[in-house]
């Protein structure tokens, strides 16, 4: 039964999805990461399409560059073209992708619209491994 769980059964949706706009600061993105608890934030453009992602790991890398987190827009330091999946994926297949790409979280799209997000802990808690 656990092998047939879909991503849409497990993902966070609506206000639970960690999202900021490309214009918001790194500091604002960090607050969103902390508030939503997935260790990542999606960065959306003016059309509300996913333009990039920013993770805890990205934060560690930019701290070495002495970038001002209070003034720098997240759009300048985000990872563009992140790995994403469609909402019809099986959770087990999402886990295989995450392992293969060494990533801890994914955003879920329906077309170009972000409809959900989850991380490795979400899958493990659901018994997907």
| pTM, entire model | 0.91
pLDDT band at 63 (very low <50, low <70, confident <90, very high): confident
Q: Looking at residue 66, what is its pLDDT? A: 87
- Bridge partners of 85? 108
Structure tokens at 92: 């087990």
Residue for token pair 């720098």: 72
pLDDT band at 61 (very low <50, low <70, confident <90, very high): confident
Question: Could you give the CA distance from residue 15 to residue 32 in angstroms, rounded to a whole number?
Answer: 11
Q: Looking at residue 102, what is its pLDDT? A: 95
pLDDT band at 64 (very low <50, low <70, confident <90, very high): confident
pLDDT digits (tens, 9 = 90+) for 85-95: 999 999 999 99
């Amino acid at each position: 039964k656990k092998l047939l769980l879909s991503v849409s059964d497990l993902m966070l949706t609506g206000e639970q999805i960690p999202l900021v706009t490309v214009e918001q600061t790194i500091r604002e993105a960090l607050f969103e990461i902390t508030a939503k608890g997935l260790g990542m934030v999606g960065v959306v453009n003016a059309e509300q399409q996913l333009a990039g992602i920013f993770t805890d790991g990205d934060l560690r890398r930019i701290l070495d560059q002495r970038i001002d987190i209070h003034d720098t827009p997240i759009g300048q330091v985000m990872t563009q073209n992140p790995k994403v999946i469609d909402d019809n994926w099986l959770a087990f297949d999402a886990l295989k992708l995450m392992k293969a790409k060494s990533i801890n979280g994914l955003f879920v799209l329906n077309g170009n619209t972000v409809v959900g997000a989850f991380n490795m802990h979400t899958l493990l808690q659901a018994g997907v491994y």
